[in-house]
Structure 1
């Protein structure tokens, strides 16, 4: 499965989800599923978390192609600093505070 943006090196755990809620950043992932279940779905989210269980990135896969990719960057206190957002066929866009808005 291709990845639009490389995984953040701090990733410690990869988990799978059915979908997400797109209200502010970082997105809230919904409906955790096991890896085997993801293989039986046309659309799913593959997400990475750091040691503090913060979401540091995800890929939305549709028919095995990455359609949307987010990578999140936090400060030492855990506050979101910026996000790198990539949609299939488009150049990555970095969103920084205060553009991020409410979390």
Structure 2
């Protein structure tokens, strides 16, 4: 299930917790755009409140990006992670949440 960000809510956070995907964003910022912060996370949630795109911004530049797709049962299907160097890692999961190693 792939969702375009045009239909999504954008929210901002200061950090995340844990290591499991999708990231669990914490400390939501109440400002519409966190103009006075050097580092923050911009997140897009679909109409069902699933995180589909998460970007870590440092001094206005995207340093890290996670793009998620989900099965119809809301389990994570795929995570596409782009690091600061532009390297992309794709992780795939079963409908029960198990990692599919390459």
**Same fold at TM > 0.5:** yes
CA RMSD for the aligned pairs? 1.6
- Unaligned stretches of 5+ residues in structure 2: none
User: Runs of 4+ in structure 1 displaced over 6 angstroms?
Assistant: none
Rg (Cα) greater in structure: 2
Q: Taking CA–CA contacts closer than 8 Å with sequence separation of 6 or more, which of the two structures ends up with the larger relative contact order?
A: 1
Q: How many residues align?
A: 92
Report the Cα distance in structure 2 between the residues aligned to 1:22 and 1:69, rounded to whole angstroms. Answer: 16
Which stretches in structure 1 are left out of the alignment for 5+ residues? 1-7
Q: What TM-score results when the alignment is normalised by the length of structure 1?
A: 0.81
* Cα displacement string for residues 21-50 of structure 1 (whole angstroms, at most 9, x for unaligned residues): 1421001001001224x1100000000000
TM-score of the superposed pair, with normalisation by structure 2: 0.82
